[in-house]
Structure 1
Amino acid sequence: MNIDLNIFKIQSNNVLPSRGKILISEPFLRDVTFGRSVILLVDHTEEGSMGLVINKPLPLLLNEIIMEFKYLNEIPLYKGGPVATDTLFYLHTLTDIPGSISISKGLYLNGDFDEIKKYILQGNEINGHIRFFLGYSGWESEQLHNEIKENTWLVSEEEKSYLMKDNTKDMWRKALEKLGSKYETWSRFPQVPTFN
């Protein structure tokens, strides 16, 4: 029996990528880093694109790499991507951090880390306000556009509260479901259809 494998091809939703939008991986992308991932685009220009995978927690806590946080409640770390995996990036909602880059309304990237540390050490709430990542995801000029044309990624928008939540377990599925019934069906397929 021959199966038409085109039924497993997802069609792009024709939304253009830009800073602050998210990329949702197509359901059958079999890649350790990018399979079933949601990526926040933190930069998108003609020269290239940069993003952070926001739904892949690492088996490591920020408390384990920053000694000042050693005795604080657990602070999760996420795998931002395969590039510069020894570099810390942070998304936050704090409007007064010098040097921050505005990603979208009320959402910022990086900035003065001493101010971030001070905020945390003063006992302020982290959940919903700051998320930490090791590494980032990068695309050269035209590379992301080509991947979107090949239907590797769907482009969408999400609320700041969604992007900042620590519970990322169902983030990919929920992001896909929000695109409509066609994509909701795709969200229930196994990543490797032959394993079903």
Structure 2
Amino acid sequence: MNIDFDIFKIQSNDVLPSRGKILISGPFLRDATFGRSVILLIDHSKEGSMGLIVNKQLPIYLNDIIQDLNYANEIPLFKGGPIGTDTLFYLHTLKDIPGAIPIDEGLYLNGDFARVKEYILQGNTVTDRIRFFLGYSGWESEQLDDEIKENTWIISKEESDYLMSTETKHMWKQALEKMGNKYETWSRFPQVPTLN
């Protein structure tokens, strides 16, 4: 019986990081912030990289930090990363928000918050349209490239509607499964092997 031991070799793929791609943490990364995370890259250049963790919901809501929205439905907040945790970021599919930065086809970052607030207070749906984050993830020049070489991250691409609408609890596992082959096997690796 021939066993392909390469399946156990954790190695990042050859996809290059760029705006709109996602970073999937390797299965052995046991960092409290980045373990089992999926990060949408907002920017990647020689100067550094920025992204938002899209699959880690916080135990508080937007209504808890923005008083004007206290009578709107509870809007979940996500942990964008460990940097600038007092700063609010928002991904959305609202193409008419002035100042919004295009991230991918049909997906934008930030823009005129007064217009976003107005959209919410008019009773429009936030689900699948806007996602709010506290903080962001950042890397200095070449730091992310080095982490990719160390096989900390696997790079992939997801559709905007998936990033905005998927139940985030299983997003890390699903992102790996979609890549097939050994990545699918890695998706079943226990988070804490000693408890298995």
TM-score (norm 1): 0.94
Distance 1:9 1:121 in 2: 50
SS of equivalent to 2:43: strand
- Which residue does 2:10 correspond to in 1? 10
Using the TM superposition, give the Cα deviation of residue 153 of structure 1 relative to its aligned residue in structure 2, in angstroms.
Answer: 0.1
Counterpart residue type for residue 69 of structure 2: F
Gaps of 5+ in 2: 1-5
Aligned length: 191
Using the TM superposition, give the Cα deviation of residue 181 of structure 1 relative to its aligned residue in structure 2, in angstroms.
Answer: 2.3
Runs (4 or more) in structure 1 with deviation over 4 Å come to 6-9
Aligned pairs (5 A) from 1:142-181 = 142-165=142-165, 167-181=167-181
Cα RMSD, aligned residues only: 1.3
Percent identical residues: 73
Aligned pairs (5 A) from 1:20-39 = 20-39=20-39
Gaps of 5+ in 1: 1-5
Distance 1:120 1:164 in 2: 16
Distance 1:72 1:167 in 2: 21
Using the TM superposition, give the Cα deviation of residue 167 of structure 1 relative to its aligned residue in structure 2, in angstroms.
Answer: 2.0
Distance 1:37 1:162 in 2: 15
Matched, 1:61 2:73: no
Given that 2:7 and 2:182 are in contact with CA atoms closer than 8 Å, whether structure 1 keeps it comes out as no
Counterpart residue type for residue 71 of structure 1: Y
Counterpart residue type for residue 103 of structure 2: I
Distance 1:17 1:41 in 2: 8
Using the TM superposition, give the Cα deviation of residue 110 of structure 1 relative to its aligned residue in structure 2, in angstroms.
Answer: 0.3
Given that 1:8 and 1:28 are in contact with CA atoms closer than 8 Å, whether structure 2 keeps it comes out as no
Distance 1:8 1:53 in 2: 26
Change (3 A) 1:14 1:136: same
Matched, 1:42 2:42: yes
SS of equivalent to 1:35: coil
- Which residue does 2:86 correspond to in 1? 86
